[in-house]
C-alpha cells in the first residue's frame, strides 16, 4: 500500500548564504567556508527554495517560469536538489 507523502517546504540550512551574481549565483557554506558556484539553472532552483517552494512544487514552478516543455530543466533541478540535500545545504 502506498502512502501519500507531502514533502515539506525546503529552505537553506542555517549556515548557508545565497548571493546572486552576474554569472548565476553562489552558495557560501559558512561552517567550512566552502563556496559553490551555481549555473543559471542552479540559481533558479535556489531562488525558488528561498521563495519557499516545496520539493513537489519546484518542478512545476520551473516549467512555468522558464518554458521547459521537454522537462530537461526539471530533471536537472531534481538531480541538483539531491546533491544539495546530500551536502547538507538545504533542509526540509
User: What is the DSSP code (8-state) at residue 88?
Assistant: T
Secondary structure (H, E, C), 25-58:
EEEEECCCCEEEEECHHHHHHHHHHHCCCEHHHH
Instruction: List per-residue pLDDT tens for the chain, 92 residues long.
Output: 333 334 568 899 999 999 998 888 999 999 999 999 998 888 888 998 898 887 777 777 777 777 777 878 778 888 888 899 999 999 88
Distance of alpha carbon 38 from alpha carbon 60, whole angstroms: 21
* Model confidence, pTM: 0.79
3-state secondary structure of 3: coil
Instruction: Tell me what pLDDT residue 26 has.
Output: 95
Amino acid at each position: 500500500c502506498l502512502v501519500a507523502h507531502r514533502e515539506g517546504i525546503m529552505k537553506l540550512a542555517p549556515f548557508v548564504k545565497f548571493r546572486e551574481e552576474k554569472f548565476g549565483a553562489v552558495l557560501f557554506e559558512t561552517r567550512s567556508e566552502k563556496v559553490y558556484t551555481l549555473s543559471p539553472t542552479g540559481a533558479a532552483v535556489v531562488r525558488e527554495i528561498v521563495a519557499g517552494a516545496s520539493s513537489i512544487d519546484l518542478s512545476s514552478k520551473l516549467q512555468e517560469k522558464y518554458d521547459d516543455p521537454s522537462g530537461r530543466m526539471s530533471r536537472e533541478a531534481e538531480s541538483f536538489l539531491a546533491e544539495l540535500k546530500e551536502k547538507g545545504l538545504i533542509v526540509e
